[in-house]
Amino acid sequence: MNSNSKVSVLGINFFNGEPQDVIDILKSGGLLVVPSGPGLGTITKDHQYYSSLIDADIAIPDSGFMVLLFRLLFNKRIKKISGWKFLVAFLADEQVKSSESLFLINPSEKEGISNLLYLRSIGFTLGQDDLYHAPLYGGENVIDPMLLSLIEIKKPRYILNNIGGGTQEKLGSYLKRNLSYRPAIICTGAAIAFLTGRQAKMPLWADKLYLGWLIRCVKNPKIFVPRYLKAFGLFWLIVKFGKNRPNEILQE
């Protein structure tokens, strides 16, 4: 990755470019993460999560709040790439589609079937053995020897990790460190649910105006209002540390 295409925020190197550039890099493998504003606000408390972000080969700037803060406080432009926008471009890439080597990690059997049917409808060739229903991972250290063994046998080129934020990144880092080969491990979480219809579709104007958080809060306030309130922790972290790694976790 060209150094000019990276911007450091809280010690995390975020990609600053176009979705297709990210896709082209992933064709050679690597771990991609899409940290949210609320997630970034927790990094001084969840050190394993922060370590997984540092371990990633590519972090894309999904948080409009983070992008706006950096522009206002440091006069630095970061090109926002939402997980939704990236995933649309990734699934439309003909080389990705023709590889016939996609494996899905899903939060439930129901979500897995929904994702499978959607991907088949847009031209992917997938079977039931290309799906994995992730268990409920507990604790800071996320490991899954069964999943690791299954991936080693199948050796997919692309692994689409659709489980929840804060956990998927830890699982992605675990896979990256323990697999014998280098697939693309893509941690876009619930972004695929916007495409399948399992979550309300994101209007294009809302994504462009950094208002995805507002749409989610209106649609499901009980879940998303408390979640996005956590993003205020990100404000203080960026004010205090900017590009640098927070002092609280310097020694981790």
174 three-class SS: helix
pLDDT at 115 over 80: yes
Of residues 203 and 65, the one with the higher pLDDT is: 65
Confidence of residue 92 (pLDDT cuts 50, 70, 90): very high
Q: How far apart are CA 37 and CA 74, in angstroms?
A: 18
For residue range 15-36, list pLDDT tens digits in order: 999 999 999 999 999 999 999 8
Domains of the chain, by residue range, sit at 3-249
Residue with tokens 């999560």: 49
For residue range 141-187, list pLDDT tens digits in order: 899 999 999 999 999 999 999 998 889 999 999 999 999 999 999 99
Average pLDDT (68-96) is 91
Whether 72 contacts 46, CB under 8 Å = no
Q: Identify the bridge partners of residue 58 per DSSP, sorted by sequence position.
A: 32
In this prediction, residue 79 carries a pLDDT of 92
C-alpha separations of 27 from 31, 41, 74, 79 in Å = 11, 31, 33, 21
For residue range 62-76, list pLDDT tens digits in order: 988 899 888 888 888
Mean pLDDT, all residues of the chain = 87
Which DSSP category does 122 fall into? T
pLDDT at 111 over 50: yes
Instruction: Please state the pTM of the whole predicted model.
Output: 0.88
In this prediction, residue 5 carries a pLDDT of 85
pLDDT at 54 over 50: yes
